[in-house]
């Protein structure tokens, strides 16, 4: 049977994409790779369906089996996160945050979160900077919240507790949101939540990056530390399909969250990813603890190995990180190579995928997000590929070849592909004969 030329073209590009990832070192801190079992669920018939409303109360027919899946998904997630209520309808981390804003705030309410230059995410950002410059953060631009920043110790890479206590007491926000996109150390939730509650705030913890580590009890436990809700993406350290969830610490918050998730912030809730998330949750229940432990061990080992090879990995005095993420100040390579954009591009030519990132002090140095002074690295996806401390040394050597020794990156790409040949299956997932980045043809 002859295939349509447009379809063949699309398929061949997809095959190249899969082949590229099978030969690269994936170090983006906000991504992960799902297991073949999750991918199977994600290409089921659910890719076509709607299930508006709550389980058993849908306003769409045809959901008798999907109801069973969503129920099972929530049961597994509630077990993993040890929480009384979860809504898995937000389609991403941003939408999960928007669901919380919708449920617990009103336009013009004050919100406090950490700022983007020190590692905060755009979804907790204001509409405009104090200077009037457009930022377009979801909290300001969509939920119309008046966003102020939680004071941050830019060199210690964490919230400044004393200054934050003072600021929360003074500003009396309606919402305090912890969490970050450069999230190296647990936030002082225990210290600040009582102060925020006293000031009348709802407290949310954006666990997008660290949800897997939290579920495995390897980072911090925001719900037991006092937060009211926790939002997260399901596809960073938690190795599920792309989606978002809202977790409530108390059952009584459920109705507000449910009403905000539907009809306010979702209609179609990407049912195939609810099924994939159910499978990912089942895998996590079995393998989540050893996986998360290794993620952190690998991040620390990679931090040390890079540090020993001349990379200014931040916070060496704190063992670099307590999570999956490393932040590297690459400004010492400014003359030889350039800044974040240039280093990112050079690494990419060597099939090493890590993104440029603002350093908390870039603003002082007059650098911006387009070509910042840092590179962010995540250890979660390489851990899923079965890599351990020994492989972190190899990866640091590749970094050295490309950046310190300035070897031709296209030559290093060949060595990277050879190295990757031994790491082609997903670990910490259900057994399978499929490869991690296999392109599966069904047409």
Ligand X SMILES: Cc1ncc(COP(=O)(O)O)c(C=O)c1O
Contacts to ligand X by CB under 6 A? 30, 92-94, 121, 123, 179-181, 206, 208-209, 233, 244
The size of the chain, in residues, is 443
Q: Which is nearer to ligand X, 296 or 392 (CB)?
A: 296
Smallest distance, Å, CB 409 to ligand X?
A: 26
Residue of closest CB approach to ligand X: 93
Looking up tokens 């979860």 gives 86
Give the residue with the Cβ less far from ligand X, 381 or 397: 381
Question: Residue 230 CB, nearest distance to ligand X (Å)?
Answer: 11
DSSP assignments along 225-281, one per residue:
TT-SEEEEESSSSS-SSS-EEEEESSGGGHHHHHHIIIIII-SS--HHHHHHHHHHH
d(CA 34, CA 86): 21
Task: Give the C-alpha separation, 220 to 323, whole Å.
Answer: 10
In this complex, which beta carbon is closest to ligand X, that of residue 209 or of residue 356?
A: 209
- Record the tokens describing residue 159, joined without a space: 């919230």
- Identify whether the C-beta of residue 113 lies closer than 8 Å to the C-beta of residue 266: no
Task: Give least dist CB 385 to ligand X, A.
Answer: 21
Q: Least separation, in Å, of the C-beta of 441 and ligand X? A: 28
Going by C-alpha positions, the residue among 33, 88, 51 that lies closest to residue 295 is 33
Q: Which is nearer to ligand X, 154 or 187 (CB)?
A: 187
Q: How far is the CB of 97 from ligand X (least distance, A)?
A: 6
CA 435 to chain centre: 23
Residue 355, helix vs strand vs coil: strand
* Residue from 241, 127, 133, 244 nearest 179 by CA: 244
Contact 340, 375 (CB under 8 A): yes
How would DSSP label each residue in 402-439? Answer: IIIS---HHHHHHHHHHHHTT--S-SSS---SS-TTPP
* Least separation in angstroms between CB 30 and ligand X: 4
Compare residues 139 and 403 and give the one whose CB is closer to ligand X. 139
Cβ-contact 244, 232 below 8 angstroms: yes
Whole-angstrom distance, CA of residue 130 vs CA of residue 296: 37
Helix (H) or strand (E) holding 206, with range, is strand 202-206
Give the residue with the Cβ less far from ligand X, 27 or 180.
180
Kindly state the smallest distance separating residue 132's Cβ from ligand X, in Å. Answer: 25
264 or 414: CB nearest ligand X: 264
Q: Which lies closer to ligand X via its Cβ, residue 31 or residue 438? A: 31
Closest approach of ligand X to the CB of residue 95, in Å = 7
In the bound state with ligand X, the residue whose beta carbon lies nearer, of 174 and 273, is 273
Residue closer to ligand X, measured from CB, 205 or 437: 205
Question: Least separation, in Å, of the C-beta of 211 and ligand X?
Answer: 10
CB 382 within 8 Å of CB 27: yes
Strands laid side by side in the 175-178 sheet? 85-87, 244-248, 229-233, 202-206, 175-178, 110-113, 146-149
Peptide bond into 263 cis (omega under 30): yes
Where is 327: in which H helix or E strand? strand 325-329
Distance CA 86, CA 249 (A): 9
CB nearer ligand X, residue 207 or residue 392:
207
CB of 424 to ligand X, least distance (A): 26
Q: What's the min distance (Å) between Cβ of 180 and ligand X?
A: 6
Question: What does the alpha-carbon distance between residue 351 and residue 164 come to, in Å, rounded to a whole number?
Answer: 41
């Amino acid at each position: 049977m002859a295939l349509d030329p447009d379809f063949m073209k699309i398929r061949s590009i997809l095959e190249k994409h899969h082949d590229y990832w099978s030969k690269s070192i994936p170090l983006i801190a906000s991504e992960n790779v799902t297991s073949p079992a999750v991918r199977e669920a994600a290409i089921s018939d659910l890719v076509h369906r709607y299930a508006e409303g709550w389980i058993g109360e849908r306003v769409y027919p045809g959901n008798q089996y999907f109801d069973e899946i969503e129920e099972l998904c929530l049961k597994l997630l509630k077990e993993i996160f040890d929480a009384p209520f979860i809504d898995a309808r937000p389609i991403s981390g941003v939408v999960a945050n928007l669901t919380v804003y919708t449920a617990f705030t009103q336009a013009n309410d004050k919100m406090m979160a950490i700022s983007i230059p020190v590692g905060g995410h755009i979804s907790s950002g204001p509409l405009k900077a104090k200077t009037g410059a457009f930022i377009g953060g979801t909290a300001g631009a969509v939920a119309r919240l008046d966003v102020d920043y939680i004071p941050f110790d830019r060199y210690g890479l964490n919230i400044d507790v004393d200054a934050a206590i003072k600021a929360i007491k003074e500003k009396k926000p309606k919402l305090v949101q912890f969490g970050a996109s450069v999230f190296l150390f647990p936030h002082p939730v225990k210290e600040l939540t009582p102060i925020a509650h006293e000031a009348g705030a709802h407290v949310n913890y954006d666990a997008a990056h660290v949800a897997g580590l939290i579920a495995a009890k390897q980072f911090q436990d925001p719900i037991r530390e006092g937060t009211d809700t926790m939002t997260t993406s399901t596809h960073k350290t938690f190795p599920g399909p792309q989606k978002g969830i809202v977790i409530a610490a108390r059952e009584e918050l459920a109705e507000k969250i449910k009403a905000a998730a539907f009809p306010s912030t979702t209609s179609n809730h990407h049912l195939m990813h609810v099924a994939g998330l159910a499978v990912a949750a089942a895998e996590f229940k079995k393998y989540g603890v050893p996986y998360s432990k290794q993620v952190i061990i690998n991040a620390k080992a990679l931090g040390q190995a890079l540090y020993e090879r001349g990379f200014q990995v931040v916070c060496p005095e704190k063992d670099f990180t307590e999570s999956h993420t490393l932040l590297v100040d690459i400004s010492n390579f400014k003359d030889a190579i350039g800044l974040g954009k240039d280093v990112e591009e050079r690494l990419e030519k060597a099939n090493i995928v890590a993104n440029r990132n603002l350093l908390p002090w870039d603003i002082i140095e007059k650098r911006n997000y387009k070509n910042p002074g840092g590179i962010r690295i995540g250890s979660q996806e390489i851990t899923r590929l079965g890599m351990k401390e020994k492989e972190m040394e190899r990866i640091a050597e590749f970094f050295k070849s490309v950046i310190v020794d300035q070897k031709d990156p296209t030559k290093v790409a060949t060595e990277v592909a050879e190295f990757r040949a031994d790491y082609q299956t997903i670990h910490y997932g259900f057994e399978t004969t499929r490869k991690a980045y296999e392109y599966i043809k069904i047409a």
